[in-house]
Amino acid sequence: MSPTPQIEFRGIAKRFPGVLALDGVSFSVAPGSCHALIGENGAGKSTLGKILAGILTADAGTVLLEGRPIAPDSPLAARALGIAMVHQELAFCPNLSVAENLCLGDLPTRRGGWVDRAALHQRARALLAEIGADLDPARLVGSLSTAQEQLVQIAAAVGTGARVIVMDEPSSSLSAGETHELFRLVRRLLARGITLVYVSHRLEELFALCDTLTVLRDGRHVWTGPIRQTSPGEVVTRMIGRELRVETPAHLAQPPGEELLRVEGLHSPGRFSGIDLSLRAGEVVGLAGLVGAGRSETLQAIFGLDPRATGRVLVRGKPLPLGSVEAALGAGLGLLPEDRKRQGLVLGLTCRENVSLAALPNLSRFGWVRRSEERTRAQHFAGRLRVKAPSIESIVAGLSGGNQQKIALAKWLARSCDVLLIDEPTRGVDVGAKAEIYPLLDELAREGKAILVVSSELPELLGLCRRILVMRAGRLVGEVARADATEAALMRLMAGVETDRAA
């Protein structure tokens, strides 16, 4: 007789304005298992996890915990049932410390009701040590990198003592080393008998960690079964309903054009130093490195976001004033940042307003925006990127992470930038959306754009780029041509293995 499922979903439905996010989803999760949940952006994965974690309530259907119906109406209620969630999009108080965020629901106090700071930091250190995170509990969360915030969130979920943990894209911002530590943590949790619902777009993770897999498509349940009985190719086909083809980028067949961007001796105290690089029209160049290598900081300085930066940035041979975003925009530069929610979008605005945000000077006359032209342009670029939204007037905050990323990219396409600085173009994006974004970047390069791409996914750089620059500890340490580029060669440069041997 099979054991009672730890979690069972029966006919779960959830509707948002204009969107049926979940449509009668039913499947079960075995106790002590690592159950993969996969699907394209907008398939309903995060919505289902949020219903389990008490963040959302289902419009129809039943959730059972060990055979008993449950309906948590808040994260606190879910926590009381032994259910926690690690969110894809980070949700902390940035003006509070790591320790305060970790213990926010249960602050240790002394006589008189005052917070016991010593006990607070001791508890936080224990939670961080549990997942192998070396962070100062006194640091403000707002000062952490995205990867560090992700680790703190995992520590918070583990610290609740939950028996069921939903992990929604837990490795989306982690380096290879941090991801390895996450895998070790997952295996320790499974050894304790904790049940994990693991949401990820990275198929290699799912096949390495999970024993069972469920596929959702367009809010419906497609397949559930042992992961050993399927293959990555079959999973992708079930996810997107079609066979996925990977082709060599067409821009590689044409020689690069004129030099559009040159960086000479770019330096920022404590961030990076001695950066020299160039971009030519019609090429996609990768920028690889471990977390903390200075990749994102370099892109920000080129775009004028670092007032302390020194050196030279030239666009078509003309010097660009450093520390001026206005000058960068005027020279035809665009920056797609790593953190789309905090830096790439205005979540309370509509898709139309976000797409046109960077192009408003071209859409205005005497200070008034030409609405019909704005709407036409926004619809064109949202359609080109195949954004899934009820309408162009939908609020961006209500879109899935992958569709938010497409809107953030569409903003720069609408401005017709000649040089695109793209930081993690497919972070939190499913394989189907990646298969749409990659050809788009290839098409932009064929149109003569120059594109500098930062990515933590080496296969992404190997598939997209003509050449790959490697950063380590704030410096450029190598350039690898496409013909010579392998994951092993890039990792050696990123980690400094060759340098160590030479020493």
Q: How far apart, in whole angstroms, are the C-alpha atoms of residue 64 and residue 44?
A: 19
Nearest in space to 256 (alpha carbons), one of 484, 438, 482: 482
Residue closest to 154 by CA, chosen among 107, 119, 188: 188
pLDDT for the residue 142: 84
The amino acid at residue 114 is W
Q: Bigger pLDDT: 197 or 146?
A: 197
The mean predicted confidence, pLDDT, of the chain is: 87
Q: Minimal CA–CA distance to 93: which of 142, 54, 135, 158? A: 142
With tokens 């559009």, the residue in question is: 260
The pLDDT tens digits of the residues spanning 129-139 come to 887 778 899 99
Is 502's pLDDT higher than 50? no
* Token couple for 349: 């605005």
Gap between the Cα atoms of 243 and 79, Å rounded? 40
The full set of domain ranges for the chain reads 7-240, 250-332+417-502, 346-415
Three-class secondary structure of residue 331 per DSSP: coil
Alpha helices in 165-258 (DSSP H): 176-191, 203-209, 232-240
Q: What confidence score (pLDDT) does residue 328 get?
A: 95
Using CA atoms of 206, 212, 215, 220 in order, give the dihedral in degrees to the nearest 10: -150
Task: Give yes or no for residue 1 having a pLDDT over 50.
Answer: no
Within this chain, domains 7-240 and 250-332+417-502 share the same CATH topology: yes
Q: Stretch 342-346: mean pLDDT, rounded?
A: 86
Q: What are phi and psi of 12, to 5 degrees?
A: -70, 130
Is the pLDDT score of 488 beyond 60? Answer: yes
Tokens of 217: 């498509």
On the question of pLDDT at 244 being above 60, the answer is: no
Question: Concatenated DSSP letters for 336-365?
Answer: E-S-IIIII--TTSBHHHHHHGGGHHHHEE
Which residue would you say has higher pLDDT here, 358 or 427? 358
| pTM exceeds 0.75, yes or no | no
User: Distance between CA 95 and CA 90 in Å, rounded?
Assistant: 14
Q: Which amino acid would we find at residue 376? A: T
Query: What confidence tier does 414 reach under pLDDT thresholds 50, 70, 90?
Result: confident
- Strands 450-454 and 284-288, bridge-based pairing: parallel
**Residue type at 163?**
R
DSSP label of 140: B
Q: For the chain, give me the number of helices (H) and strands (E)? A: 18, 22
What percent of the chain has pLDDT above 70? 94
Single-letter amino acid, residue 441: L
At residue 164 the predicted structure's pLDDT band, cuts being 50, 70 and 90, is very high
CATH T-level topology, domain 7-240? Rossmann fold (3.40.50)
Q: What pLDDT score does 243 carry? A: 58
Query: What are the residues facing 472 on neighbouring strands?
Result: 475
Mean pLDDT value of segment 100-119: 84
Q: Which residue has the higher pLDDT, 29 or 500?
A: 29
What confidence score (pLDDT) does residue 56 get? 93
Alpha-carbon separation of residue 303 from 306, 321, 322, 335, 358 (angstroms): 8, 10, 8, 7, 14
E strand or H helix at 199 = strand 195-199
**How many residues are listed for the chain in this entry?**
503
pLDDT at residue 108 is higher than 90? no
Residue 78 has pLDDT above 90, yes or no: yes
Q: What pLDDT sits at residue 146?
A: 67
- Give me the pLDDT at residue 260, please: 97
Query: What is the gyration radius of the CA atoms in the chain, in angstroms?
Result: 23
The CATH class that applies to domain 250-332+417-502 reads: alpha beta
Pairing of strands 310-315, 318-319: antiparallel
Q: Which ranges of 131-227 would DSSP assign to H, the alpha helix?
A: 146-159, 176-191, 203-209
What number is the average pLDDT over the span 359-384? 84
* In contact, 295 and 319? CB cutoff 8 Å: no
pLDDT of residue 500: 41
- What pLDDT does 232 receive? 86
| Cα–Cα distance for residue pair 260/214, rounded to 1 Å | 46
C-alpha 209/C-alpha 471 separation (Å) is: 30
φ and ψ at residue 274, rounded to 5 degrees = 60, 40
Give the single-character DSSP code of 2: P
Nearest alpha carbon to residue 23 among 38, 35, 12, 10: 12
Amino acid letter for position 98? V
In whole angstroms, give the CA distance from residue 227 to residue 230. Answer: 6
- C-alpha distances in Å from residue 414, one per residue of 357, 365, 376, 451: 9, 17, 11, 16
CA–CA dist 266, 297 (Å, integer): 11
Q: How far is CA 393 from CA 192, 329, 396, in A?
A: 47, 26, 9
Alpha carbon 342 to its chain's center: 12
Return the closest-CA partner of residue 89 out of 17, 182, 175, 153. 153
Q: Which amino acid is at 429?
A: V
Secondary structure (3-state) at 161: coil
Q: How far apart are CA 385 and CA 354, in angstroms?
A: 14
What proportion of the chain, given as a percentage, has pLDDT over 90? 48
For the segment 401-412, the average pLDDT, to the nearest whole number, is: 86
